[in-house]
Structure 1
């Protein structure tokens, strides 16, 4: 059964899990628990992604979440969530100083989320049409590189922020054998 044929999770309001509990709550996602994770992400997308990016188990939790979204008919919603993160304008390019170094935490978090979502989409190509609707963009052609298509929204970031995005994207998209 294709992802498009799966019945979508009910959009009824759910009590979001706490941001600091997102990783643990994603250990076993089913139709009844997914709405609380969606609500948590929608309530605090920056906090959830930051937590996933920096905490042990976050990469696996992100993939479980994205996989559940796709498999439970929420690919369009996942596209909307990615768009919220990528369309944060100057926030993605804003540098931060830590331990004497300049880094781009928001670009890094966005790249991490996009890379994890891209890894899931690469194994669920039937979900790309719905996902694309959520992003408000045309679906990539079969010959298009998925990473390039996902990264197009941040093409205008200054080079250091774009490098932080790309590095985090590659790290999150990496799937060890």
Structure 2
């Protein structure tokens, strides 16, 4: 079991490295796919709501409304793309923190003192990952991404500790 947990942790680190190694175009295409799925779901919801409501727009105002709605939709898509990218960062490091916790806990390295080690491992990997991204065409290295990664790791650590001690206390009772 110990080796499996460590292999999962190393596999996930490799997956993060691989995803960071994608050039800007591939990375953008991946996040655009997710944005398109969200937008399609939103359009379907709006369409069903529009069918329930009957609104009439005069023909003279429709061209101006269409131009404004296109600009708004482009801005919303850009904002949504940004949110998807940041959530992807946080999710990847949340999983990494959970796997690092599992690896250390499998070797009976647990307790409050291990929190610093777990967070250090995740933060160190986030910093080296951003450094790696700085060499990839079309990608940037941002301190804000490191902070998002670290927040994801803290969430993962919190989830692991909460679930572990809930289960642990239940077994001891």
TM-score by length of 1: 0.37
Relative contact order, higher structure (CA 8 A, sep 6+): 2
* Greater C-alpha radius of gyration: 2
